[in-house]
Structure formats: C-alpha cells, structure tokens
Amino acid sequence: MFEALSSKLNGVFDRLRRRGALSEADVTEALREVRVALLEADVALPVVRDLIAKVRERAVGQEVIRSVSPAQQVIKIVNDALVEALGGGAADDGKRGIDLNAPAPVPILMVGLQGSGKTTTSGKIALRLRTKDRKKVLLASLDVHRPAAQLQLQALAQQAEVTSLPIVPGQTPIQIAARAMDVARRELYDVVILDTAGRLAIDEALMEEVAQVKLATNPHETLLVVDAMTGQDAVNTAKAFQDKVGVTGIVMTRIDGDARGGAALSMRAVTGAPIKLLGAGEKLDALEDFHPDRIASRILGMGDIVSLVEKAAATIDQEEAEKLAARMQKGQFTLEDYANQLKQIGKMGSLQGILGMLPGVGKIKQQLNDANLDTAILKRQAAIIGSMTPKERRTPDIIKASRKKRIAAGSGTSVQEVNKLLKQFDDMSAMMKRMNKLGQKGLMRGGLAALLPGAGNKRPF
C-alpha cells in the first residue's frame, strides 16, 4: 500500500546519501521533498506539518550535519517520526492487537460503513482467535437491513470452523445481541463477535442503532472497519465514529490494493484511535497485526523481515526447509527440491506480497512486475517438474529434445516453457554457489540484490 510513498522517500534519501557531508540547506531541501511525498500519499496536512516539524527539530538538535553518516541519521529521525505517527509511541503500548483481557464471554462489536469489510473481518478475527489463541468464538450478525447479511456471516463462520448464532427472523439488532450474549454465557464461549449493518454515510438512524447495541452489550472492543482505498475519507469516517459512538481500535482493510497509505499515517493523530489490524485480502487468513515499527520500515524501504519470517514460520514446513538447506549447502539441490520449494512458496500467498517485505527489493520490483511473476506460473512449473521421471529430476542434463516434447505434452505446457524452467534452474544452481561463497555476512550486507544474477538482469531468479 505504501509503494509510491516508499519509492519517493527512497529517492530523497538516495540523493542525501550521495552528498556525504550535509549542509543545513541540504536537510531543508530533503525535508521539503519528504513533505511533498507525504502530501502526495494523502497524509492529512496537520499530520505532515507536525511530522516535518518534529524531524527538523531533532535533526538540528542532534547536530546531524556534523555526524559521521548524516544521511543515515536523517533517515533514522524520519523513521522514528513515522513510527510515532503510526501510533508506535510508548503511550500506545498495550493498545495493539485485540484486547481480550476481560471476563468471558468478551463481546467485540464491529462497526463501519457499507462494504468496508466488517463481515469479512469478523470471519478473519474468528479464525485467528480459534486457531492462534485457542478461543471458543461465537459469531452473530445484527445486520437486519440487508437480506443475505446473516447468511453471509453464517457461511464465513463455517469456513472459519466456529459457531454462528442461529438465525431467528424478525428480531431487532438489540434482541439478537442479547440472545448472542445469553447463549455465550450459557455455553461458555470466550468471545462473541457482533457484526453490525453497514451504512452508506454517517447515517443518524443507523449510528443510533450502533450506539444502542453498544450500550446494551458493553463491548470490550469496538472495532471500526475502514477501507484503506478511500484515503482521507476513511480518516473522516473514523473521526465521525469516534465522536458519535466511540471506538477502541481501527481495522484497515484492502491494504492489498493500491491505496496511497496516507490514511494509515493520519489515523492515529486525527482520530486518537489506534490501528489494530490490517486486512490484506479477501481470504480469511489475510489478516495482519499492525506494527508501527514494521510499517515504517516498509515505507522507508528497509523491508519487514520480522513479518516475513513470521509468515514463513507459520506456513513453511520446518523439517522440509532444514533438509533443503542442508542439500543446498552440499550442492545437491535438484529439480525435485525445486518443486518442493515451489509448493512452499505457493502456500505463503502472493509473491509480490512476500517480496514487498524484503529489503532492497524496491529496485527489482519493476523487474518482477515485468516478469509477471505470480503463483499461476509456479503451478505450471510444478506441473512441468511433475511430468519428469525421477531420473530426469535428478540429472536434468539428460533432458534433450524428445524428452522435452514428452514433458511439455504431459504438463500441458510448451517446449519453450520447459526450456525456460531448465534455464531458470541452472541460474538458481549458479546463485546457490554464489550464496555459499558470499556466506551469511555478505547476504546481510548486500540484501537480496546481491543474490541476483547481475544487477539489472531481467530474470528475477
């Protein structure tokens, strides 16, 4: 979501780095560019002003200009200011993630505009609480305005393998909420998620309905769901909800789209409410915790290694990965291993999303877009390898014209594609040799770019 902002800021900082010694005028000029970049990313004006003022003050106060690596210092100061704007200050400690620290059943109320993603997010939260936190979750839809709304939540509950409150036609939202809490108390649920009806705009009647449900259920969390794609409107919506209903946290959805990211940066300052979660896709597992420091790193192009490793740890088979690493080190990496790896990567979701978390990837991002790299390609490659004999997988050198034809036919691809895969595998083997030579330290220093066969090469792997 922060790609445009990230690439602009990187441009500014690259120029700063090239300068070496910085004059005060250099810093002022850089800050002017940072300001423009933030405004273009749709960050609210008062937030931009505040952020720039803070950075300027600290940059002067710390005598950046005379320090050893002035550009790095400026970047560090901007980073810290971004983290603060995103709600990373000490005052916000303990306000991240969903707070379940209350007597069970803990009610969570979901509110927001029409189509912002309340129902989907309810399902996502239910799935996460059941699997990660081992909670017994009850989902209840209070949406009596849209005919299929209650069935939609019921279907999501099934997917998440949690219970949904039986639908009783004709009940009011308050009656449904009361019934949900009653069932939850009797059947010893840990958490009750109450999904409310959306509204087109800040509609007084519906707002009143939410306020009443809130009064009746006394939710421990009132989560406002906003669509990141609506930019500043999301911030205005949040402000209105905060003033009229009161929310404990914000869930920002559709960060998988090309939103400019300004809303996320403005939210905390304008509404006073912390962003707690991010929705990054339509699937139920596309829910991320909001970590201000990690987001700031992503914006500044430093990558979000922590999230990447966490994601990998959750999806990749540890034993498999260790075996693979051992074989790589011994130079025994085969096409079979490659097929296994493809499967694991496929499990982690979109490649663009994964690579976006890596440091230094900004520069090759375009390359990746050009290569149109997506999981569909991975599946085709897996099919190609699947059509090979075990011997061919171990010694791909024996794959000549007639074998290529057979493999292409067997996998429903073309000889060209088979050739491409074999070439790619060759490149990979070469890369692994380089990786061994580079060693761990070199890898850290050069980042991913060091592994690529020649910077600027069109082939990403």
Ligand X SMILES: Nc1nc2c(ncn2[C@@H]2O[C@H](COP(=O)(O)OP(=O)(O)OP(=O)(O)O)[C@@H](O)[C@H]2O)c(=O)[nH]1
Chain contacts with ligand X (rule: CB under 6 A): 112, 114-120, 143, 146, 149, 198, 253-254, 256, 279-282, 286
Neighbours of 325 (CB within 10 A): 11
Q: Is 52 annotated as a binding residue?
A: no
Is 275 assigned to a binding site? Answer: no
Partner touching 282 among Mg ion, ligand X, none, CB below 5 to 8 Å by kind: ligand X
Cα separations (Å) of 73 from 33, 70, 96, 280? 17, 5, 28, 32
Q: Which does 20 bind (CB under 5 to 8 A by kind): Mg ion, ligand X, none?
A: none
Report the nearest approach of ligand X to the CB of residue 11 (Å).
28
Least distance between ligand X and beta carbon 160 (Å): 13
Nearest to 314 by CA among 131, 161, 126: 131
Which of ligand X, Mg ion, none binds 261 (CB below 5-8 Å, type-dependent)?
none
C-beta of 39 vs 284, nearer to Mg ion:
284
Nearer to ligand X, 1 or 408 (CB): 1
How many whole angstroms separate alpha carbon 188 and alpha carbon 72?
A: 54
In whole angstroms, the minimum distance from the beta carbon of 354 to ligand X comes to 17
How far apart, in Å, are the Cα atoms of 457 and each of 227, 419, 454?
A: 37, 18, 6
Of 121 and 381, which has the nearer Cβ to ligand X? 121
The reply to whether 389 sits in an annotated binding site is no
Cβ proximity to ligand X: between 114 and 232 the closer is 114
Report the C-alpha gap between 460 and 358 in whole angstroms.
14
Nearer to Mg ion, 176 or 384 (CB): 176
Q: Positive or negative, the Cα torsion across 143, 247, 300, 50?
A: positive
Say whether 116 counts as a known binding-site residue. yes
- Check whether 118 is labelled as a binding-site residue: yes
Q: Is 54 annotated as a binding residue?
A: no
* DSSP for residue 229: G
Task: Confirm whether residue 196 is marked as ligand binding.
Answer: yes
For the chain, the straight-line distance linking the first and the last C-alpha, in angstroms and rounded, comes to: 24
Phi-psi category of residue 170: left, alpha or beta, with phi > 0 → left and psi -120 to 50 → alpha: left
Please answer whether residues 245 and 210 qualify as being in contact, where contact means their C-beta atoms are separated by less than 8 angstroms.
Answer: yes
Give the number of other CB atoms < 10 A from CB of residue 329: 12
For the CB of residue 145, give the shortest distance to ligand X in the complex, in Å. Answer: 8
Q: Rounded to the nearest whole angstrom, what is the least distance from the CB of residue 312 to ligand X in the complex?
A: 21
Q: How far is the CB of 345 from ligand X (least distance, A)?
A: 21
Report in angstroms how near the CB of residue 186 gets to ligand X at its nearest: 27
How many residues of this chain bind Mg ion (CB under 5 A)?
2
Closest residue to ligand X, judged by C-beta, is 198
Closest CA to 193 of 108, 277, 129: 108
Among 6, 10, 116, 119, binds Mg ion (CB under 5 A): 119
92 belongs to an annotated ligand binding site: no
How many angstroms separate the CA atoms of 85 and 226, rounded? 18
Closest to Mg ion by CB, 153 vs 275, is 153
Based on CB atoms, which residue is closest to ligand X, 287 or 399?
287
By DSSP bridging, strand 249-253 and strand 275-279 are parallel
Q: Which residues are annotated as a binding site?
A: 112-119, 195-199, 253-256
| Residues making contact with Mg ion (CB under 5 A) | 118-119
